[in-house]
Amino acid sequence: MWWKGDPRINLQKVDKMAKFYQVRDVKKAIEKMEAKKNEE
């Protein structure tokens, strides 16, 4: 189950390049996970 703030993203392979929104979502997820880790 997903919950508020869950950094999961949906990546689907199309061609050879990532879509701009996929890169943006991955970056946001990494930033959220790093921020959460630094809070602990």
Asked if the model's pLDDT at residue 10 lies above 80, the reply is: no
State the Cα torsion 15-16-21-23 to the nearest 10°: 160
Residue type at position 23: V
Q: Could you tell me the pTM of the whole model?
A: 0.61
Predicted local distance difference test score (pLDDT) of residue 4: 67
Higher-scoring residue by pLDDT: 12, 2: 12
Average pLDDT, the chain: 77
Task: Name the DSSP letter for residue 17.
Answer: S
